[in-house]
Amino acid sequence: MGTVRGLVKSYPAGRARRGAPAAPAVRATDEVDLDIRRGEIFGLLGPNGAGKTTLVRQLTGLMRPDAGRIELFGHDLVRHPERAARLLAYLGQESTALDELTVALAAETTGRLRGLDPRTARAERDAVLEELGLTALAARPLKKLSGGQRRLACFAAALVGDRPLLILDEPTTGMDPVARRAVWAAVDRRRAERGTTVLLVTHNVIEAETVLDRVAVLEAGRVIACDTPAGLKSLVGDEVRVDLVWRDQPPLDAPEVAALRPRAQEAGRRWSLRLAPAEARAAVAAVTGGPAFAALDDFTLATPSLEDVYLALGGGQAKGLVKG
Ligand SMILES: Nc1ncnc2c1ncn2[C@@H]1O[C@H](COP(=O)(O)OP(=O)(O)OP(=O)(O)O)[C@@H](O)[C@H]1O
């Protein structure tokens, strides 16, 4: 469906001002390669400034790369950036263009701009507002909505006129759980019914873990890992995280507790340990089965999350971990 090869984009160096040194040039995307399959939800995950928005703006034809190729549905988007409008819907981080419009008009106008006739645009508008629970807000201007409502309204507009690729830059930021669910249900429905492909930029690793088929981790403009969430998790091994929360002071006079202490990261009453599965079982059995149990307030046993992977990959130690 989509291929990106050797994509490079640099922002020029800033000029020196009096008292301030020149900002160096930034390679915001640095030889990025990606393969996105039809119908998958593909994620871009990375810290602030990693280059996610820059990459997405090149994919949407809004920014010209310095070098590299972008092919979407067989179209060369570097040579023909104007074709992006027919192939994809882009939900960026800001909504300024639509802010003056009402929710209904934002959706309808988007449909008209995408070539729908007036009747179809209105019908799709009504359907999508209903689907996302926005009907009651239809007559309100976007600028008079809450942040989460505005985001949902912009998402609704992006869905009108049905494009085969949805590029969503942090779509659920600021949304309450009901709105989030509506977003993911709408995405799932389009994927199941129409084979819609989704490229999702996100910071929310927990959400990423539940919705993504595959994820590319970006750091300083480079893809440092790309795999399924499960595949990425296997990179941090099959360690288990054990959290022990003590009522008060940990009972260090209990030998099973004293033995665990060197392995624990301590934060107040909470000890976090990363252990091999067998060690984790033994630790939990020892602590819950012995006298230390009385001093224990709570404990959890968890397999690594995408958040653990994200943190483990940080700092650029993970170069060379890229998988197909
Ligand atoms: N207009 C610009 N001029 C100069 N440098 C820029 C410009 N826009 C972004 N950058 C720099 O390019 C790099 C990538 O920025 P980008 O906005 O793509 O990151 P991001 O991954 O989307 O970050 P965030 O998660 O904060 O949205 C950063 O180092 C940033 O400071």
Report if residue 65 sits inside a domain: yes
The alpha-helical segments, DSSP class H, found in 89-146 are 103-113, 118-131
What is the pTM for the complete model shown?
Answer: 0.82
Residue 126's CB is within 10 A of a number of other CB atoms, namely 15
Q: Is the CB of 27 under 6 A from ligand 1?
A: no
The residue segments making up the domain with residue 73 are: 2-233
**Does residue 246 sit in the same domain as residue 228?**
no
* Residues with Cβ within 8 Å of residue 111, at least 6 apart in sequence: 120, 121, 124, 125, 160, 161
Tens digits of per-residue pLDDT, 177-207?
A: 999 999 999 999 999 999 999 999 988 777 8
**Does residue 169 sit in the same domain as residue 261?**
no
* Confidence at residue 320, expressed as pLDDT on a 0 to 100 scale: 39
Q: 233, 260, 282 — which closes off a domain?
A: 233
Q: 201, 233, 265 — which closes off a domain?
A: 233
* Confidence at residue 316, expressed as pLDDT on a 0 to 100 scale: 45
* Confidence at residue 139, expressed as pLDDT on a 0 to 100 scale: 97
Q: Is the CB of 52 under 6 A from ligand 1?
A: yes
Report if residue 320 sits inside a domain: no
- Which atom of ligand 1 approaches the CA of 14 most closely? 4
**Does residue 6 sit in the same domain as residue 89?**
yes
Q: Is the CB of 46 under 6 A from ligand 1?
A: yes
**Does residue 94 sit in the same domain as residue 143?**
yes
Q: Is the CB of 53 under 6 A from ligand 1?
A: yes
How far is Cα of residue 316 from the mean position of the Cα atoms in its chain?
A: 19
* Confidence at residue 239, expressed as pLDDT on a 0 to 100 scale: 81
Residue type, 322: V
User: Which residue's alpha carbon is nearest to atom 3 within ligand 1?
Assistant: 11
CATH code, domain carrying 212:
3.40.50.300
* Confidence at residue 103, expressed as pLDDT on a 0 to 100 scale: 97
**What tokens were used for 235?**
């990179």
* Confidence at residue 202, expressed as pLDDT on a 0 to 100 scale: 86
What are the average pLDDT values for consecutive 10-residue runs of the chain, which has 324 residues? 95 79 85 96 90 95 95 96 95 84 96 96 97 97 94 96 95 92 95 95 82 92 91 79 92 92 93 90 89 90 78 54 38
* Confidence at residue 314, expressed as pLDDT on a 0 to 100 scale: 65
DSSP secondary structure, 219-254, as one string: ETTEEEEEE-HHHHHHHTTT-EEEEEEESSS--TTS
